[in-house]
Structure formats: C-alpha cells, structure tokens
Amino acid sequence: MNLLKSEYSRSQTEFYLHLQLLELTDSGLFCPPAGVFIDPWRPVDRAVITHAHSDHARWGMKHYLAHKDSAEVMKLRLGGEISLHTLDYQEKLDIHGVKISLHPAGHIPGSAQVRLEFQGKVAVVSGDYKVENDGLCAPFEPVKCHEFVSECTFGLPIYKWESQTEIFSQINSWWKENAAEGRNSVLFAYSLGKAQRILQNLNREIGEVFVHGAIWNTNQALISNGIPIWDVPKVTQDLPKSRFNGALIIAPPSAYGTPWMKRFSPFRTGICSGWMAVRGARRRRAADRGFVLSDHADWEGLISAIMATEAERVYLTHGSTASFGRFLQEEKGIDAVELQTLFGVEEVE
C-alpha cells in the first residue's frame, strides 16, 4: 500500500531511508526500535496517543500511553477498562533504548507532541497543535528535532486568526444582544477542547449557561483529572423552559437541527470553527453567526512552529499538505514530504 503521496516525487524507499525513527504503515506511524505506534488508526499492541480526539485516540489498542491530563477523558471515550500508562510533560520513558517524552501541543487539555530520541536522532510527532496560549491547556512549546511530523489543517494564507480576546468579545456581545431581545443563544462547538475554552471566557454576568450532556460528561472527566473547568449544569428533560431566558447553551455540532433544540425557542445559533474564515462557510452550515475560533494553528502559526523546531525535514499530515509543502520547499528551503494518513477524518474543525 502506497502511503506516501507522490507530490514531491519521493519514493517509499527514500522515505524510509531518511526517516530513521518512524515508518508509515497500514496501521499508522510506527517506531520500530521501540515497537510503538503513534496515534494508530488500527488496533496494535502499544500506542502513544497525542490527544483524546477520536481521529487520534481510537478504541482497540492493547496498551495506551498518553499525557496524564488525558487520562479520564480517554477512559470516558474508550472505556474505563483500557490499559493506560500516563506521563507528565518532559518526563522520559525508555523503551528498548528509545527515549520517549511528551511536550505541550497547546491543542486541547492533555494534548502532547511525542518526542522520540534514538542513537543521536530526534523525531517529533506533533499530533494537532495551536501556538496561541488559550489559558486552559499547557501552551505549545517547540521541540528541536531532526524530523518533524506536522499537521497543516489550515495551511493556506487565507487562514489568519484574530486573538482569542477579540473572538470572545464578539461571542459575549452576540450573546448579550440576543438576551436583550429575549432570545437564547445556542453555540455549537466540539465537546472536547473548544467547549471548555469557550466556557472559560464567557462573561458570566450576562446570564445562565448550560451545556449539552456530551459536553457535561467531558467536563466532569476533565474536572476529575484536576483541570479547572467552570462546572455549569447540563440540559435535562426536567429543566423547565423558564430556565432558558436569555441563556447561552453550548452543544456539539451533531445536535444542530435535532428535536433537542426546540426547548430553547426563541433562539439564535452560532458556530465556532476555523472554517468560518472561509466566505460562505457559515451560510452552508445554516448558522445565524459564525465565529472564527480554532484549536489548530493558522498559516503563520504553522510556519513559526515548524521553523522553531529547526528540523531538517518536515512530514505533513491532514490538511493542505500539497500546497503547504510546496511553500515550505520553495520559500523556506525546508525539505517537506506529504503523508497520507487518516487523521482529521472523524473529528475535524
């Protein structure tokens, strides 16, 4: 199976010769000396997980290794019976001579870059990351390495994020306006990472806040892991409609258009996503308002993060891999290779 795209005319043999610590297999990125996979998409014996989103943390692995802040939410999503070993950031684990450590990715609570060191060579697998400090999870830290495996979900110049301070000012103003008109505000965001980030930045003086059950369950897992999340009530059948009076309700995108929403009428809807930066995206999602808020790095963030690693070669996964790879080669003089993976398939912005 050819897992290496031909965009840069690289052969599979050349790929393996240069990438000494990792191989791209049918099950995912594999470190042969340690016998571990990083974010595999098929069941394997030993998996190192960068973060708990469903496209990176999948069910069926015999043993899991992840950051300690991911422990409870991984058990929630994958089952409490999983065999899970956790590390703190910068803590090292030696497996057959390969030194493995986890470093902040700034993506969501517990997200980590995986650093692998063996016989003087260092490779880093980023998972997903953002470079702006969101005040909720440990901020991204570039890790110097010879080879860097990077996402590039928003690897086009059109993606340039405003500061989260500005975005949350917009969200709070929108909520306040709706409440003044006697409307509730239903805001859609993914249940792990973005929902908690929104909670931490709401103006609590505007009104009451509620969350969908899927978000509430995630909040409880994070709270039990020691992460300081604002513990707001979940929407239940026994809550009277009168409680929803100018309230803000955070829900996963899957709740949009379902009967679950009828209890909030009259309401307006908003969606938080990096894709809202693309003209027409909000209209296609049929939301009243779109907020450009992403847990991934934008164009400039990707470039700055990659340059800070000082990597000799960069491997690009999920996103604008072809165009971003050409940019890195032609404008930055960085040897870039495009990889075909299953990341971003199940849980994207």
> How far is 19 from 146, CA to CA, in rounded Å?
9
Same domain, 168 and 227: yes
Environment class of residue 227 by beta-carbon count within 10 Å: exposed (0-12), middle (13-18) or buried (19+)?
Answer: middle
User: How confident is the model over 326-342, as pLDDT tens digits?
Assistant: 999 999 999 999 998 88
User: Is residue 199's pLDDT more than 90?
Assistant: yes
User: Is residue 133's pLDDT more than 80?
Assistant: yes
Give the pLDDT mean for 203-218.
97
Look up residue 15 and give its amino acid: F
- Under 8 Å between Cβ of 171 and 193: no
Residue in 347, 327, 324, 7 with CA at minimum distance from that of residue 154? 324
Look up residue 230 and give its amino acid: W
User: Is residue 17's pLDDT more than 80?
Assistant: no
Helix (H, G, I), strand (E, B) or coil at 241: helix
Any idea which of 95-104, 198-207, 274-283, 299-308 has the lowest mean pLDDT?
Answer: 274-283
Percent share of the chain, pLDDT over 70 = 91
Same domain, 180 and 144: no
The pLDDT of residue 14 is 42
> How far is 229 from 219, CA to CA, in rounded Å?
7
Domain ranges, residue 282:
164-291
Q: Which two tokens stand for residue 32?
A: 């042969």
Same domain, 55 and 25: yes
Same domain, 210 and 286: yes
Residue 251 forms part of a structural domain: yes
The pLDDT of residue 342 is 82
User: Domain of 31: which CATH number?
Assistant: 3.60.15.10
Any idea which of 195-204, 319-328, 335-344 has the lowest mean pLDDT?
Answer: 335-344
- Under 8 Å between Cβ of 36 and 99: no
Higher-scoring residue by pLDDT: 281, 138? 138
Same domain, 229 and 314: no
User: Is residue 241's pLDDT more than 50?
Assistant: yes
Residue 113 forms part of a structural domain: yes
Same domain, 26 and 136: yes
The pLDDT of residue 287 is 86
241-268 CB burial, b ≥16 within 10 A, e <16: eeebebbbbbbbeebbeeebbebbeebb
Residue in 256, 263, 264 with CA at minimum distance from that of residue 188? 256
User: Is residue 112's pLDDT more than 50?
Assistant: yes
User: Domain of 174: which CATH number?
Assistant: 3.40.50.12650
User: How confident is the model over 138-184, as pLDDT tens digits?
Assistant: 999 999 999 999 999 999 999 999 999 999 999 999 999 999 999 99
Same domain, 45 and 95: yes
